[in-house]
Chains A and B, each alone.
Chain A
């Protein structure tokens, strides 16, 4: 059955509440993406499958944001092991490109949302 945007968001939210990150896989072209659409942005197919992510990935790029009146924060793009990427913040860290990270959920004014932290004892990035 074709996904609806409401259905996708319901799936995401219920998984976030259980600490699980999700993504969407296109059944026709195998494209994987995080930002919800009811059609594949690569091939247009509406044959899509909602999937659970391992929540583990690496830092694709990062920046430490210095804003007045707000503690410094690391803004980043993380690439999950399943191949999709998303924007996020990485907690209390001095990351490098390639650093290993894992998801955790934090309460925001939109409910629980995915944030990331460094995996301790992870191999050094290249």
Chain B
């Protein structure tokens, strides 16, 4: 069924490699062409671009001056609407929202949303994207780096480890409960042909994988890969999918984690309230999964359980596509890999595949509403809640 006079997702595509030998621009071009082909929109009708980037992920470059120019110059897009968002993985969800707004307002007809890059370029330098100041002093992470960057850390892992440790202290959350979440997500990945990791996984294997920052083990953390996700939002394209934005909320917190009342609550507690969507009407949840603890924080913050209840919820729930809480139904980025240190495209793509009936082998039967929540920043400053589904 086609929808007209609506601004909806007309195309989507992804390309993910453990390591892509060519340039990030080349991988970007391939992903965009596939997305545009999927949409049926003529390439020269694309008149909008929303994107984001992090230091290092475009062929190791620290800063690309006039970033949206550089992408458009490479791809060949003459635009009347461009925007570069700046909140990591959660940016992907805002791209869709803002693209639909721009198209509805007549500011553009076809807005291309792009997120990705090459994680391998950062990894090969022996740092994470949040430690890139270690290889380029021109990069700053906060306005307080002179007091902050004198210590041994491994952010974002170490910062999330502080949260996991405190979560255990306050609520008695156990390592095996986080491990069980990783196991349940892996079970979902077994049925996803696109997943990078598709071997069965046990709690014991998670808990015996190397400790990165205690209590977080290697198999509780995403692996940074090379890849892009692209989405096209169009006005009246014949291939527009019946997927609309049903609810939306953003929250961007300013405190450094030590300055928060506590570190176990994320801005998802606020963005989800702003979206204010009845959870009983949701058919699947796609929650940002940079680490096991990230998912557990969101299970609490969006209201699926009370604060501190995630460990028990993980034990008691069936997260499979036919379960009581279908969660990260494609295995999430823990099993897909995290392109360019941002998981937002992974969870958004899975939501779209579920809603369009394309989730072969892992389809949530009759899925009409997907609840997607993204978290951004090494210190969880950003949260975006996006509920998409059948237009009302």
Contacts and interface: CB of A to CB of B under 8 A. Distances in A.
Interface residues of A, number: 34
Contacts of A12: 147
Contact of B213 (A75, A85, A108): A75
B151 A87 contact: yes
Interface stretch (B32-40, B161-169, B181-189): B161-169
Contacts of B71: none
A26 to B, nearest CB: 13
Contacts of A35: 142-144, 147-148, 256, 259
B165 A61 contact: yes
A63 B148 CA distance: 16
Nearest to A36: B144
Interface in A49-103: 60-68, 70, 73, 75-77, 84-89, 97
Majority DSSP secondary structure for residues of A touching B? strand
Contact of A65 (B144, B148, B154, B263): B154
A70 B259 contact: no
A11 interface: no
Contacts of A110: 146, 150
B214 interface: yes
Contacts of A108: 150
Given A65-B213, A66-B210, A77 B151 contact: no
A41 interface: yes
A118 interface: no
Given A36-B144, A61-B165, A64-B214, A75 B258 contact: no
Contacts of B153: 65, 75, 87
A78 B150 CA distance: 15
Interface of B: 126, 142-144, 146-148, 150-154, 158, 161-163, 165-166, 169, 210-216, 254-259, 263
Interface of A: 9, 12, 33-37, 41, 60-68, 70, 73, 75-77, 84-89, 97, 108-110, 113, 115
17 contacts: A34-B147, A35-B259, A60-B258, A61-B263, A63-B158, A65-B154, A65-B161, A65-B213, A66-B211, A77-B257, A87-B151, A87-B258, A89-B152, A97-B166, A110-B150, A113-B147, A115-B151
